[in-house]
Amino acid sequence: MQQASVAELPFEAEQFDVVTAFETVYFWPELAQNFREVYRVLKPGGIFFICNEANGETTKDDKWTQIINGMTIYTDTALKEYLEQAGFCQIQSHKNKKGWLCVTAQKR
């Protein structure tokens, strides 16, 4: 276990087959730059997996951003745009009945 900022991951390039982000991207300060950093540490063909309880499309999501300072809830469309800007491909999103959002993206 190692604590680090997603803005500057302390790993060599192309080190990981999979990078996960469970309930965290809400608080990443510069999503476009942070996704580029994830892209950097993934091996070619590697997968980035994002899982969020909130998907930005329900009224309950507004409640969370009002009571949790610095929280931003992203829709699947917004996440896809940021992921594409970072160079990811094969982007897929899945939502369940409770509103959970899971997104996978592959490094070229």
Could you tell me what percent of the chain has a pLDDT over 70? 100
Q: Give 50-90 pLDDT, tens digit per residue.
A: 999 999 988 788 889 999 999 999 999 999 999 999 999 99
CA distance readout (Å), 33 to 1, 20, 47, 78, 97: 23, 16, 17, 14, 31
Does any domain span residue 54?
Answer: yes
pLDDT band at 4 (very low <50, low <70, confident <90, very high): very high
Q: What is the mean pLDDT of the chain?
A: 95
Establish if 27 belongs to a structural domain. Answer: yes
Q: Is residue 2 one of the residues assigned to a domain?
A: no
The answer to whether residue 82 sits within a structural domain is yes
Note the pTM of the prediction, 2 decimals.
0.94
69 domain-assigned: yes
Q: Report CA 39 to chain centroid distance, whole Å.
A: 11
Tell me which residue range forms the domain holding 75.
Answer: 16-106
CATH of the domain at 99: 3.40.50.150
The number of domains in the chain is 1
- pLDDT beyond 90 at 2: no
Q: Is the residue at 5 inside a domain?
A: no
Round to whole Å and give the CA distance between 104 and 108: 13
* Domain assignment present for 9: no
